[in-house]
Amino acid sequence: VQKIAVEIGWENNKQVLAVKINDPDTNLADLLDAWQPFCDNKTINKLYAAERHKECRGCEINCCNTAYLIPDIIAFKKICQNFDLDYHEGTRRFFAEDKIDLGVMRLKGNPCCFLKDGLCQIYTNRSLLCRFYLCTDIAADTEQLLYSLAWTGSAATQIFASEQKLLPGEPRKGSGSFDRLFLDLQQQYQRDTRVQLFMEARDYNEIPLKPFLGDQIIAHSVM
Ligand code: SF4
Ligand code: SF4
C-alpha cells in the first residue's frame, strides 16, 4: 500500500480530490509524487481546461498567466542553482522589483517569467504553489494541508531572504490587496515552528508530513 494516495471522492455533493494518508511516517516528496498525476489527468473536472477535461499541458487559459507566486524555499534555492546564480542575482533576475521594495518575494508575473510558449521552463523545480494548484474542487482538509505546506515553504523563503539581505529591510504594507494579503499570510506563517523544517531541509523528501497532519487526517483520510 502506498503511504499516500490521492483519490477522487465526494464532499457536499461535489466531486473532489482528496489526499488519503495510509502511513503518517511519510514526507512531502511522497505527497508530490501522489499529486502530480492529476496535472495530466483528463477525467477530473478542471474549471478552466478546454472542455473541462484536459491535461494542464497546453492549457490555453493557463493559470501561469496570472499566478501571484512566492516560491517555497526549496524551489527558490533550486531555481537559483539551476541558473547558476547566487541568491542576490536570482532575486534580481526573477523577482518583481516593485514587490521586493515592499518586502515581498514575488516572482515576475503576468505572465510568469518562466512561462515560454505555454510551457513552464522550470517544471521539475517549480514551487509548491505551482505543483499543488489545480482548477478543480479539493476536499477541505486536503486544501488546508496543501496550502499550509505551500505557505510555510513561502514563509521560509521570506525569512531566508531577510537573513541573506535580499530584501530592503522591514516589509512595509503595499497598496494592493494581494500584497497585503500575502504579507499578512507570510507573517502569520513565519511564527509557525514548522517553518524550521523548510529552513533546514535540502529537498522535499527531508520534510516530514506528520507535523502538518491533524489527528483526524492521520487516523483515516484527509477528506
Ligand atoms: S490548473 Fe491551470 S493549467 Fe491546469 S487546467 Fe487549470 S488553468 Fe489550466
Ligand atoms: S513557475 Fe512554471 S508552473 Fe509556476 S507559474 Fe511559472 S510557468 Fe507556471
Give the residue whose CA is nearest to atom 8 of ligand 2.
64
Distance CA 42, CA 52 (A): 8
- Name the pLDDT band for 112 (thresholds 50, 70, 90): very high
**115, containing H or E segment:** strand 115-116
CA separation, residue 143 to residues 94, 213, 214 (Å): 28, 12, 13
pLDDT in tens, 178-196: 788 877 877 888 788 899 9
Indicate which atom in ligand 1 lies nearest the CA of residue 133.
1
Distance CA 133, CA 67 (A): 10
Ramachandran angles phi, psi of 105, nearest 5°: -85, 70
User: Residue 141 CB: number of other CB atoms within 10 A?
Assistant: 18
| Ligand 2, atom nearest to 112 Cα | 6
Pairing of strands 4-11, 119-120: unpaired
Report which protein residue has its CA nearest ligand 1's atom 2. Answer: 63
Instruction: Name the DSSP class of 136.
Output: S
Q: Is the CB of 61 within 6 Å of ligand 1? A: yes
Decide: 35 and 20 in contact? Cβ < 8 Å.
no
CA atoms in the 13 A half-sphere facing the CB of 100: 16
Q: Which DSSP letter does residue 108 get?
A: P
Pocket (CB within 6 angstroms of ligand 2): 64, 67, 69, 112, 114-115, 120, 122, 126, 130
The ligand that comes nearest to the alpha carbon of residue 71 is: 2
pLDDT digit string (tens) for 30-72?
999 999 999 988 888 899 888 888 888 888 889 999 989 999 9
Range from 82-86, 170-174, 191-195 that averages highest in pLDDT? 82-86
pLDDT at 189: 81
Is residue 45 in contact with ligand 1, taking CB distance under 6 Å? no
